[in-house]
Structure 1
Amino acid sequence: MTENAARNLSWLAAKVGTGEIDTVLVGFPDHYGRLMGKRFEAEYFLEEVAERGTHGCDYLLTTDMEMEPVQGYRFANWELGYGDFHLVPDLATLRPATWLEKSAIVLCDLEDERTHRLVGVAPRTLLKQQLERARAMGYTVMAASELEYYLYRVSYRQAHQQGYAGLEPAGYYLEDYHLLQGTREEPFTRAVRQHLKASGIPVENSKGEWGLGQHEVNLRYAEALEMADRHVLFKQCLKEVAESMGLSVTFMAKPHHGQAGSSCHIHLSLWKDGQNAFAGEEAFGPVQGSKVFGQFLAGWIAHIPDFMPFYAPTVNSYKRYEDGSWAPTRLAWSYDNRTAGFRVVGRGASLRIECRIGGADLNPYLALAAALASGLDGLEQGLTPPPIFQGDIYQARHLPRVPYTLGEAAEGFARSTFAKATLGEAAHEHYTHFFKSEWQAFNRAVTDWERKRYYERI
């Protein structure tokens, strides 16, 4: 047991002893990035679960958004009987969940019940594999995920009853950086900031964004696995605080036509011996950085087509990619340029790469695993980044564009020999089926757009 894990367990035992905590949520991220799991009586957790773990049905890595088991997966299916996998608490993640009454939460790794090896298709496993690869090369990976969301003055139940139509946003004009409109949303936003801070998830700031009722809360950067854990806990916190206030938030990439999409900008840098390995004196246009910086950037850009569904995993994701909408549409890099898919920011020790391609609907474990696999390949192959682009990248029609649909992105992922070699055949097949199943489900659905367009006038 690590020092952090032992300290967290002692903290929990003390809080349970005084009656301050009586419930422990035990969860893991599924393939959508949702937290799945169980609630335990705190005493039982300390006596049994902390050391031995618990069990969950393995179908949880093969369901659709409605929790229906999807056929065609090798990992779990009716023929195999949908058995269990083992949830192993990572006690380094144990923390209070102050937005819930007398509760703590811990995240788990998934192990095979028979072999006790990590489940190879689990998102947290895939990220840990790439972090181990970086560690073997001598690097620590630091990251931050910058999440945007929309806030509405209706509850989730009300939104469901209204068919998610006609929802009143928290703001009634574009509020980007507006302190006045931010004040109107502050009862919710302040509660979120304070709960996150009290739950061991340090916050930098919050601000209004460009859409009606759109906002963001920025977390402090951290080691990449810790950052992915903070990301999923952040989303859980916001949804549950909204629920308690009769509000709702959405992390859809594009909830409304004509409004800004919600992104998840990923900031990333490699560190070695306590120093930022991206810092250096080589010239990349106006950017001074190291070979490590240039090669990592080159690999990340080059392999976006291989892993596009890891950054944009839903049908809705691709509605966000509109020219002039603050979302990137083309694969290029620039310095402090918000039209670029890759925006390099900072200098010296703060130099980092900001990938602006991902939407707020991404699974952070998969997105960070893809980013690392791509950038580390750039180091291993000694790749050189394309020339820096200066100007309005939306107008650069000669540059390669991100895919137009999930179907197109899923086909690129399925054909990618790099993605297959990186993830392994089993995980690559699993996620190919996952993304294609999502696309096929959409193609079978009849939408409101079709009824409005064709019901009477066709």
Structure 2
Amino acid sequence: MTPDELQVSVADGTIHTVVMGFTDHYGRTMGKRFDAEFFCEVIEDGTHACDYLLTVDMEMEPVEGYDYANWAGGYGDFHLVPDLDTLRRAAWTEGTAFVLCDIHQGDDHQLVEVAPRSILRRQVDAAAQAGFTIAAASELEFFLYRDSYQEAHTKGYRDLQAAGWYVEDYHLLQGARVEDYVGAARRVLTASGVPVENSKGEAAIGQHELNIRYTDVLTMADRHVVMKQAMKELADQQGVSVTFMAKPDADQPGNSCHLHLSLWQGDTNAFVGDGPDGRSDLFRWFLGGWMRHCADLMPCYAPTVNSYKRYQDASWAPTRIAWSTDNRTAGFRIVGTGSGLRIENRIPGGDVNPYLAFAAALASGLDGIANQIEPPDEFKGDVYAATDLPTVPHSLEAANTQFGASSEARRLLGDVVVDHYHHFFASEVAAHQKAVTDWEHRRYFERI
């Protein structure tokens, strides 16, 4: 939707509300709802919001210790600037348009360095300066429940009714039973400018995957954000619930979000070359950089305490850092040939913030090219059974300790970004360490 098309839709009464959104650290969509006529008046100016939004925890409490914003600084405003390339009809809700925003500083109108979309923008600019564009896709999985979000909350998120009763990976019959929701999601996403490829049952009870088409990396991250917001709102309207958390059930596989990337020079896939299996030096070096820096940047791919519970052997989630051709046991799976050749990183889960994950991937891969970093030898066979491969970190605490201490992370993302997000992840770890869990009650209440 262009601004002119919005004006027409506002004038004829089709659109009465415009939502301006952006993501916080968690990847949650925050923002404001505007009267559509007023939005058209201020479309070039944007709006303001409190800068504490880049310091709060999940419960919206400001966390002390950030340099960016704090009580001493008074928690002023930042400037939300709509990216009109993201303006679209929000087909999942009546009479509404939706636009994503960049976050600018209020004084000099520069991008806020620690905002997730700003971090990815810087890496996209770095790729462009090196002569590359990036094609990307993210594959989001989710669990669907027949309880509403409010019912799930009331039940303490326990004993929820899954939208299925057996593992339904690729099953068309079980898939047909959830077309009331999943089919509606495909249609509203397509109508909202998020083109859909397909949906399918996944490898757990009530789990599904909905794939949207690949595009340039910034647009892909935007589509990912819009998709999650649309699917949650649609679930609310239907009285059901979806979760993208990485491991909602200890006894089942978790939600993944595989990232696909390829490097382009004009209309040519730069990963294609004269090397083994038709792959180029650029492919090899990009893969080498992505793999080498993976552990140092792990919180960008696995940002929550729950993320790390997904990494279990023989669970379809990777547990070791290796690459292999069309091998789903490897953290880095090489798929496609010719113009479709790409690298799939299977490490991120459904809880990932796409801006941070894609930024980490680009920073790593571009560094691999700049320094001609060679990947290890390709692994053949069952990666889960390997005993001599580096493993993914076992917890957010361990991953964040490495992230904060890493000179490589600081070189790739900058001290300001690393310090800010190291504090954010540490705050998440601290909150978890204070929590008393159901597991503790079951284990200790009576028998200790």
Letter in 1 for 2:434: R
* Pick aligned residue for 1:376 from 360, 366, 370: 366
SS of residue matched to 2:394: coil
Deviation per CA, 1:359-417, whole angstroms, max 9, x where unpaired? 00000000000000000000000111111111000000110000110000000100111
Q: Cα deviations across residues 44-71 of structure 1 (Å, max 9, x unaligned)? A: 00001x1101000000010001111111
The answer to whether the aligner puts 1:452 opposite 2:436 as a matched pair is no
Residue from 223, 233, 242 that aligns with 2:235: 242
Equivalence for 2:304: 314
Partner of 2:220: 227
Counterpart residue type for residue 353 of structure 2: N
Q: Within the alignment, does 1:17 sit opposite 2:7 as a pair?
A: no
Mapped pair 1:426 → 2:410:
no
Give the match's secondary structure for 1:106: strand
- Equivalent in the alignment of 2:396: 406
Decide whether the 8 Å contact of 2:272 with 2:283 is kept in 1: yes
Matches for 1:11-410 after TM superposition, within 5 Å: 11-48=5-42, 50-283=43-276, 287-410=277-400
Give per-residue Cα distances to partners, 1:56-92, cap 9 Å, x unaligned. 0000010001111111101111110000000000000
Give the CA deviation at 1:254: 0.3
Unmatched segments (≥5 aa) in structure 2: none
Distance 1:59 1:445 in 2: 24
Structure 1 unmatched runs, 5+: 1-6
Which secondary structure does the structure 2 equivalent of 1:76 belong to? Answer: coil
1:439 maps to 2:433: no
Deviation at 1:292, TM superposition (A): 0.5
Amino acid of the structure 2 residue aligned with 1:338: R
Give the CA deviation at 1:288: 2.3
4+ residue runs over 6 A deviation: none
CA distance in 1, matches of 2:402, 2:257: 22
Aligned residue for 1:51, secondary structure, equals coil
SS at match of 1:317: helix
Counterparts of 1:271 and 1:248 in 2: how far apart (Å)?
38
Output the amino acid matched with 1:398: D
Cα distance in structure 2, aligned partners of 1:319 and 1:52: 44
Once the two structures are superposed, residues 213-264 of structure 1 have per-residue CA deviations (whole angstroms, 9 ceiling, x without a partner) of 0001000001000000000100001101110000000001000011011000
User: Which amino acid in structure 2 is aligned with residue 331 of structure 1?
Assistant: I
1:282 CA displacement: 0.2
Contact 2:235–2:241 under 8 Å retained in 1 = yes
Amino acid at match of 1:352: R
One-letter amino acid of the counterpart of residue 59, structure 2: E
Question: Partners of 1:116 and 1:94 in 2: how far apart?
Answer: 21
Number of residue pairs matched? 448
Give distance in 1, aligned partners of 2:222 and 2:311: 27
1:416 corresponds, among 406, 409, 414, to: 406
2:285 partner amino acid: Q
* Mapped contact 2:364–2:412 kept (Cα < 8 A): no
Code of the residue aligned with 2:357 in structure 1: it is A
1:303-333 deviation per Cα after TM superposition (whole angstroms, max 9, x unaligned): 0011100000000000000000000000000
User: Secondary structure of 1:186's match?
Assistant: coil
**Which whole-Å CA distance do the structure 1 matches of 2:92 and 2:266 have between them?**
37
Where 1:368 maps in the other structure, the secondary structure is: helix
Q: Give the TM-score of the pair, scaled to structure 1.
A: 0.97
Aligned partners of 2:5, 2:134: CA distance in 1, in Å?
Answer: 28
Q: SS in structure 1 opposite 2:295? A: helix
Q: Shift of the alpha carbon at 1:348?
A: 1.0
Output the aligned Cα RMSD.
0.7
